[in-house]
Structure 1
């Protein structure tokens, strides 16, 4: 039945109803279509899912030395190491025949209707890691190349240097495939042991030490493995080529004087010592100067306050804290200008040239760190914008009776 409007207002009202009806039906159809056309999310049959896992990060083949379970590839063909989701190839094991891998985790990966066990493995330095089907791996260390088969970190200490001066001793990376440095190029260094390992090559085994040190005393730090037969334990008596040697890394007067007389950055120390022409540089007194009388507490690198050391065996110790402070304040000056300032201040303190020439029975204690490049802050706690500086000068006399009451008791020294 058709309904006709009898007036203009009725016709307008009827038209509006038709428009609202059409728009409403259109929106309903759009919403219905949107709902029915949305795809249902489902796991792809091509994806890999972890259905089981077991942690092996604390399971050791050698509990004493905390060595994890070792594996190596047993195939020379393509065998990929994957990421955890099996979507990206990380490494091809055929290229790592001499690498020993250590087990971190075992997982069961499901792919479609199939399940496989994968091992998450890492190399010795943990620079490479990934998941490998366990069928590609065999237990034990790789029989090829050099292998670290035992490791010991506990109770490692001591300094070492090459047993034979000038011998070409090589420092290697962990798998003995790359030379880190030639020790003969750094003859004056003390190397410090942090690890002992047994390295196997074929049917032979040898003990290597992991040594580390800061090249030339204040440059790039390097570490690596050295066969222990090339090394001698103790403090290096030769400091040739070192920009800086810590005050405790000397054997005594002979090597300390050799360092002051020949080192590149000891020129000012040598010139100051020469102001006392008949007094010799004394290593023990120089340690006392560094620990007890450095005006700015800069001569000893330490995270805490430096503890003074005993002065037994010396008497009549005289410190010059004003000179030490002045040198530190004007460390950027030339050596000549600083030396002139030292002469003037010694004169003012009653130690003119005549007085100094009469002090044959005295020794000099001196520790000078003078504008040594120290970008890494390896020498003093405050590196002085890339350069290390610290000054400590004392004079005194050897006294076998012990610590004399005449020793300077400035506030730099504490009982």
Structure 2
């Protein structure tokens, strides 16, 4: 399976799994509550309004109990800003005023005596009052942070802790798993649930949806390994080629064609149609259309040579490539005259992290593609 296909499957699976309702096995639960009527479908389907409750008092003890009513799990006054959502009603020792509740992320659930609650969302703090997985309006898609100057904080779900400022990570793309409507002091804003990678760690949280813009980022600063379809246009692809510490060989190969400008579309054709590639585990990447280009000349012997000599130094590789180009009739003098051609190039040169196996291990990967062609 190709890296491109694998990435798409993982991204799609993440959104799909994120949209699944909470599933619980009622029959397996040992409980001392009787006459239980479950109503958690409303919570699973994000219908919060009619099942929302909050503490009647944030100063008095009000305990949430386990299923056997033998252990106090939580004290509502410890969570003064929480809204609790009704999952079921039941009877304990003849008293029918008991309900099972959970918090918004379903990390704290149990039974409470219902007169200790008031119906409705809490008026304290920041309240998630709606959640939607509807695509493409509230979930899915590829987004980037709009501005490097305006703060775009990533918050935890209670909106009490800033996890990151995404204005510092405009070089990453973001996929929304879902969105929530956060209400605070009568004002509501949509927030998107996204992930950001910081120092090789993934951090999940909520960012104001208005801070994101649809489409891939054009800022690749600090990104050293990117797939051929990670770019928006030739301009940002050139930024990557010029800035990445792993593109030294690519920069040297580009100099062999001094008057043939790099073209993103042609580079993607080189990568997917004419390259050697050991970054995939099963099937090679699918070929893409060459619409908009003509007179394509693939240097397949160059790609084959680079793969066969992937452990050699860049100087040795460059010398071998020049020799092969000369043999193909593309001498230094001829290459200097290719002013009406464009260059397609994609290089992943024995880089650790260029290949990820099915177990998630980071391995060295190689991907070599070099062609020239004309635009229609």
**Short-chain TM bin:** 0.7 to 0.9
Residue from 291, 306, 309 that aligns with 1:312 = 291
Correspondence list, 1:292-303, <5 A: 292-296=273-277, 298=279
Match status 1:387 vs 2:369: no
Tell me, in whole angstroms, the C-alpha distance in 1 between the residues paired with 2:143 and 2:108. 31
Tell me which residue corresponds to 1:15. Answer: none
Correspondence list, 1:215-364, <5 A: 219-296=200-277, 298=279, 306-328=285-307, 330-364=309-343
In structure 2, runs of 5+ residues without a counterpart are: 1-29
Q: Give the Å deviation of 1:372.
A: 4.6
Tell me, in whole angstroms, the C-alpha distance in 2 between the residues paired with 1:353 and 1:384. 43
Residue from 100, 103, 117 that aligns with 2:97 = 117
Q: Give 1 or 2 for the bigger CA radius of gyration.
A: 1
* Structure 2 CA distance for partners of 1:246 and 1:136, relative to 1, 3 Å: farther
Tell me which residue corresponds to 1:86. Answer: 69
Contact 2:275 2:370 in 1 (8 A): no
Tell me, in whole angstroms, the C-alpha distance in 2 between the residues paired with 1:237 and 1:269. 20
Please give the per-residue CA displacement for 1:308-360, whole angstroms capped at 9, x wherever unaligned: 22112212223334443444455455444443443344444444433433323
Choose 324-333 or 172-181, whichever is displaced more. 324-333
Q: Give the Å deviation of 1:278.
A: 1.7
Tell me, in whole angstroms, the C-alpha distance in 2 between the residues paired with 1:243 and 1:336. 21
* Structure 2 CA distance for partners of 1:67 and 1:265, relative to 1, 3 Å: farther
Contact 2:296 2:371 in 1 (8 A): yes
Tell me, in whole angstroms, the C-alpha distance in 2 between the residues paired with 1:279 and 1:271. 13
Q: Give the Å deviation of 1:95.
A: 0.6
Comparing both chains, which one has the higher relative contact order based on Cα–Cα distances under 8 Å and sequence gaps of 6 or more?
Answer: 2
Q: Tell me, what secondary structure is at the counterpart of 2:230?
A: coil
Residue from 107, 111, 126 that aligns with 1:146 = 126
Q: Give the Å deviation of 1:283.
A: 0.4
Contact 1:213 1:223 in 2 (8 A): yes
Tell me, in whole angstroms, the C-alpha distance in 2 between the residues paired with 1:340 and 1:181. 46
In structure 1, runs of 5+ residues without a counterpart are: 1-46, 401-415
Tell me, in whole angstroms, the C-alpha distance in 1 between the residues paired with 2:70 and 2:283. 51
* Structure 2 CA distance for partners of 1:337 and 1:386, relative to 1, 3 Å: farther
Q: Tell me, what secondary structure is at the counterpart of 1:174?
A: coil
Contact 2:306 2:368 in 1 (8 A): no
Tell me, in whole angstroms, the C-alpha distance in 1 between the residues paired with 2:223 and 2:350. 14
* Structure 2 CA distance for partners of 1:343 and 1:166, relative to 1, 3 Å: farther
Tell me which residue corresponds to 1:162. Answer: 145
TM-score (norm: length of structure 2)? 0.79
Contact 2:47 2:130 in 1 (8 A): no
Tell me, in whole angstroms, the C-alpha distance in 2 between the residues paired with 1:302 and 1:126. 38
Q: Give the Å deviation of 1:149.
A: 0.9
Q: Give the Å deviation of 1:272.
A: 2.0
Tell me, in whole angstroms, the C-alpha distance in 1 between the residues paired with 2:73 and 2:283. 46
Contact 2:142 2:174 in 1 (8 A): yes
TM-score (norm: length of structure 1)? 0.73
Tell me which residue corresponds to 1:367. Answer: 346
* C-alpha RMSD of matched pairs (Å): 3.1
Tell me which residue corresponds to 1:49. Answer: 32
Tell me, in whole angstroms, the C-alpha distance in 1 between the residues paired with 2:120 and 2:103. 13
Tell me, in whole angstroms, the C-alpha distance in 1 between the residues paired with 2:359 and 2:312. 17
- In the alignment of these two chains, the number of paired residues is 342
Q: Give the Å deviation of 1:104.
A: 2.0
Tell me, in whole angstroms, the C-alpha distance in 1 between the residues paired with 2:281 and 2:203. 21
Tell me which residue corresponds to 2:17. Answer: none
Contact 1:55 1:104 in 2 (8 A): yes
Tell me which residue corresponds to 1:30. Answer: none
Q: Give the Å deviation of 1:303.
A: 8.8
Tell me which residue corresponds to 2:14. Answer: none
